[in-house]
Amino acid sequence: MVRRRLLALASAGVMAVSLAACGSDDGGGGDENGGGSDLGASWILGTTDSVTSLDPAGAYDLGSWTLMYNMYQTLLTIPAGENTPQGDAAESCDYDDPQTFTCTLRDGLTFANGNELTSSDVKFSIERNVNIEDPNGASGLLASVDSIDTPDDTTVTFNLNKPDTTFQFVLTTNAAAIVDEDTFPADALVDNAEAVGSGPFSMDQYKAGEQAVLTANTEYDGPKEAQSERVFVQYYQQPAQLKQAVENGEVQVAWRSLSPTDINDLKNSDSVEVVEGEGSEIRYWVWQLANQTAKEKATRQAVAQLIDREAIAENAYDGTVDPLLSIVPPGFPGQVDAFADKYGEPNVEAAEKLLADAGVQTPVNLTLGYTPSHYGPNAVDEASELQRQLEDSGLFKVSLKSAEWEQYQNLYKEGAYDLFQLGWFPDFLDADNYLSPFVVDGGFYQNNYSSQQANQLVEEEQATAEAGAREEVLGELQQLVAEDVPLIPSWVGKNVAVAGPGVNGVEETLDPAFIFRLWTVSYDG
């Protein structure tokens, strides 16, 4: 059932979160006997991701969250191929006002251990995460929660400490995964062996750094019905090992993080298929505005005018990434190609004019920083390609500098580079997650960009409930970034997996959410 309610509220209009309670009411995961006899054969997913914890309060990394998305339910979820939250454990959720969010749970939910899942478990899960505040956890995502009310077993009301239209997206993340209050301690992380959820799979075995074994949860009630009885997740340290394993048929699916070279190589293989979906991981170049060179807006704009993203994607990444024309990748509501709108195609004359109008002497000396130890060997190629583009214009003289990731983080803050490369992977699928961390008060990377207008626009989009009005503000904010150029977007990666013969449903899960939905995949054996 789908419910959309437009709330008539005074100022903000209303944000109605439309939720689809897609699952059947009869407990979709399997039959009563727990046999799951009509489920597909077991299969193996290989990955280079690592796992920090199976406790939602103890992890904030993709490796852990991949398992959690399959083990736990959240109130809301992002269905494959979509970008708006819909119901998982919740039958419906709505903003009562921009600071109050109410969800109604499905009836009869249970955890894999048979315990009942009620609104009390939801409240416990969120409050527990906030209270534990584990250094490896994601409690920071729940910062806007002021209090939680549970008037009955199926109703949860979140009272927020500020208008927060992104909260519905936070509820799709594992920061808000629902745990069993009878099993999980309130003030400490649970042992991995005891982690239990109500998701489409339950954890049968977890050997840190080696493998996880998930079995279809017959108690699961929701839209994520498992297609396979059992899934093995095997962990690799090196992408080369993973490539060889999938080529040899030792794993049926390889997902994250094969290099562009490996991917292109595997595209020529007869034994596997490379499946690509839209991604949300981005790379961008940040100006350190404390540096004299970067302080000059015309210099920043001139580089934005010169950068040839198509050439970077092709020459540095063998075409395995797409040019990024705004700091927000395509597909997000409110996204506009702000840098394309502002600068159009790469143009040396236009860049020269920008510099000349501002009285900037050319060639401008520029130091570019990058770190292959964190972003891989292709970061070198990208930096070299950008250097070539800028120097070919005759307007810049570029020196490249690289450092090991740990050192790099200090160096870019200290101003060792005028322009430095960083990457980003969203916490949740909302354009705000690509804007507020970067433009408010110099961003997390401390590049000394300060714009009252940017701060106000962020506040406004976070508080605007009406979708159209919010998208307009988001667009305005992206145009401001293109004008001020505190950073230059470079590319957005694809969500790539490699599948062996007999595997179905992989393409379905490869979307910008970067959730590997094990439940969508089946294997013919």
**Residues near other proteins (CB under 8 A):** 42, 44, 50-53, 58, 60-61, 133-136, 140, 189, 204-205, 207-211, 213, 232, 234, 236-238, 241, 244-245, 247-248, 250, 374, 404-407, 409-410, 413, 422-424, 437, 444-446
Which residues are within 8 A (CB) of 394 and not within 5 positions of it... i.e. 6 or more apart?
348, 362, 363
With CA atoms as reference, report the closest residue to 466 among 95, 83, 93, 86: 95
Whether residue 401 contacts residue 368, with contact meaning beta carbons closer than 8 Å, is answered with yes
CB of 190 to other proteins, least distance (A): 10
Q: Which is nearer to other proteins, 359 or 525 (CB)?
A: 525
Task: State the sign of the Cα–Cα–Cα–Cα dihedral 178, 184, 186, 188.
Answer: negative
Q: Do strands 155-160 and 145-152 pair parallel, antiparallel, or not at all (unpaired)?
A: antiparallel
Q: How far is the C-alpha of 525 from the C-alpha of 502, rounded, in Å?
A: 6
Q: Which is nearer to other proteins, 213 or 306 (CB)?
A: 213
Q: Which is nearer to other proteins, 57 or 473 (CB)?
A: 57
CB of 441 to other proteins, least distance (A): 9
CB of 429 to other proteins, least distance (A): 16
CB of 494 to other proteins, least distance (A): 21
Q: How far is the C-alpha of 212 from the C-alpha of 210, rounded, in Å?
A: 7
CB of 54 to other proteins, least distance (A): 10
CB of 210 to other proteins, least distance (A): 4
Q: Measure CA 220 to chain center.
A: 25
Q: Which is nearer to other proteins, 44 or 492 (CB)?
A: 44
Kind plus residue range of the DSSP H or E element containing 145: strand 145-152
Q: Which is nearer to other proteins, 107 or 204 (CB)?
A: 204
CB of 155 to other proteins, least distance (A): 33
Q: How far is the C-alpha of 106 from the C-alpha of 87, rounded, in Å?
A: 9
CB of 265 to other proteins, least distance (A): 12
CB of 136 to other proteins, least distance (A): 7
Q: Which is nearer to other proteins, 4 or 207 (CB)?
A: 207
Q: Which is nearer to other proteins, 223 or 489 (CB)?
A: 489
Whether residue 113 contacts residue 24, with contact meaning beta carbons closer than 8 Å, is answered with no
Q: How far is the C-alpha of 423 from the C-alpha of 256, rounded, in Å?
A: 16
Tell me the sheet residues that pair with 152: 155
Q: In what order do the strands lie in the sheet with 282-287?
A: 321-323, 487-493, 282-287, 419-424, 364-370, 396-402
DSSP sequence for 56-103: GGG--SHHHHHHHHHH---SEE--TT--S-EESSEEEEEEEETTEEEE
CB of 157 to other proteins, least distance (A): 28
Q: Which is nearer to other proteins, 134 or 381 (CB)?
A: 134
Q: How far is the C-alpha of 149 from the C-alpha of 155, rounded, in Å?
A: 8
Q: Which is nearer to other proteins, 44 or 477 (CB)?
A: 44
The Cβ of residue 213 has, within 10 Å, a number of other Cβ atoms equal to 18
Which residues are within 8 A (CB) of 77 and not within 5 positions of it... i.e. 6 or more apart?
85, 86, 87, 88, 172, 223, 224
CB of 233 to other proteins, least distance (A): 8
Q: Which is nearer to other proteins, 196 or 298 (CB)?
A: 196
Q: Which is nearer to other proteins, 15 or 403 (CB)?
A: 403
Q: Is 22 exposed, middle or buried (0-12, 13-18, 19+ CB in 10 A)?
A: middle
Q: Which is nearer to other proteins, 149 or 405 (CB)?
A: 405
Whether residue 436 contacts residue 299, with contact meaning beta carbons closer than 8 Å, is answered with no
Q: In what order do the strands lie in the sheet with 211-216?
A: 201-207, 211-216, 230-235, 43-47, 253-255, 495-499, 273-277
With CA atoms as reference, report the closest residue to 438 among 494, 483, 478: 478
Q: How far is the C-alpha of 247 from the C-alpha of 270, rounded, in Å?
A: 9
Q: How far is the C-alpha of 80 from the C-alpha of 513, rounded, in Å?
A: 8
CB of 58 to other proteins, least distance (A): 6
